[in-house]
Amino acid sequence: MLTGQLDPAVFRNRSGFDQQPFALAVQTRRVRIVLGGDFISFSDTARAGIAGLYADGSLDTSFDP
């Protein structure tokens, strides 16, 4: 459930981004978090500076603009 509170456990034990993201937007209709930055991958999956994550921190592979 989205509460607006940061949950540090979401990214624990994940390889995550290869570089730190610096932009964030929340899409409440799709319950997706969109992050932008200088990264080229998330959890060893190629992403060119933009990635969509589900509320649990897993990569939304259908979001690949």
- pLDDT of the residue at 32: 87
Q: Quick one: tokens of 29?
A: 């209709």
Phi and psi angles of residue 41, each rounded to the nearest 5 degrees, phi first: -155, 160
> Angle at Cα 23 formed by Cα 38 and Cα 28, nearest 5°?
130
Say what the pLDDT of residue 50 is.
94
Per domain, the residue ranges of the chain are 23-65
d(CA 23, CA 34): 8
Profile the chain (65 residues) by mean pLDDT over runs of 10 residues.
60 68 85 89 90 88 88
Query: Over the range 4-32, which residues count as b (16 or more CB within 10 Å of their CB) and which as e?
Result: eeeeeeeeeeeebbeeebeeeeeeeeeeb
